[in-house]
Each structure stands twice: as structure tokens, then as C-alpha cells.
Amino acid sequence: MVKEPVRILVVGGGYVGMYTALRLQRKLKPELKRGTAEIVVITPDPYMTYQPFLPEAAAGSISPRHVVVPLRRVLDKCRIVVGEVRSLDHGKRTATFTTLATEEEGAGTVDLTYDEIVLAPGSIARTLPVPGLAEYAIGFKTVEEAIGLRN
């Protein structure tokens, strides 16, 4: 009988999610090589944004590509899923997520079982209740917003 690998699910590929997966990848190197462990990272973007460098990218001092870290390059022993976790059933140890492919195909959600989970979904920028702010302001949390400010 073939035993299923132990699956560690990391929800979020930002700073905390990426460094957690990186540390797990290093600590579990023999298990990953043997196939007795698997690390899955589910994140909306295939890169981690190093936010302290966003002002330099917006000012044009550095290229926007120097603000991001491609997850597939850094986490080469992990499975990276570009998608969003919609719900968790911790009793069944199941995460339900969607990807762009499942949405385009109309396939709906996908269930993924896990043995251990790390929740690192990040934060959402809050818009203050200033009249006109939400309609006319440019955010400053993503690389795309920094490029928009620069332009």
C-alpha cells in the first residue's frame, strides 16, 4: 500500500507565506525528495511583493521587477497554485479554492486536503471614508499601483 505524502498547505504567498514555505522547504528537504511530504502554496499572485521597495519603484529609482520575487523560482520544491482559497473545513482538513482556469471553464471550486495548514493571507488596504478618495485616489500596496503612481 502506497502512503499518501504529508501535505502542508500554505495559504498566501506574501512575505510570511513565502518565508514560511521557504523554511519548510529547507527543513523538509529529504522528505520532499523522497516524496513523503508535499508543500502547496495557494496565492492570488505568482510572486511576492517586497513592499518596502514600492516607494523606490514609484519614484523610478529602481525597476519594478526588483520589487517582486517569483515564487516558482524561490520555492522550487513547492507546488504553487495561483488561486484564492474560498473556504476551509478544518474538521475535514479540506481547503476549497478557485483558480482562473476553474472560473473560465465554469468548473467552480476545487477541494484540496491537507495535514497541516499555515494561514498567511496578508492584509487588505483600507480606504478611509474621505469623499472622493475611493473613486480618484491611486493605492500604494501593489507593484501595479506603484507603476501607476510613477506614470
Domain presence at residue 36: yes
Hey, is 22 helix, strand or coil? helix
Query: What does the pLDDT average to over 82-108?
Result: 87
- The range of the structural domain enclosing residue 30 comes to 6-150
CATH code of the domain covering residue 135: 3.50.50.100
pLDDT band for position 121 (50/70/90)?
very high
> With contact defined as beta carbons under 8 Å apart, do 16 and 23 qualify?
no
- CB neighbour burial string for 80-89, b if at least 16 within 10 angstroms, e if fewer: bbbbbbeebe
Q: Supply the pTM of this predicted model.
A: 0.87
Number of structural domains (the chain) is 1
pLDDT of residue 136: 87
Q: What digits encode the pLDDT tens for the residues 19-71? A: 999 999 999 999 999 999 999 999 999 999 999 999 999 999 999 999 999 99
- For residue 126, being part of any structural domain is answered with yes
Q: Is residue 104 pLDDT above 70, yes or no?
A: no
Is residue 130, in this structure, part of any structural domain at all?
A: yes
Q: Tell me what pLDDT residue 95 has.
A: 97
DSSP state of 18: H
For residue 1, being part of any structural domain is answered with no
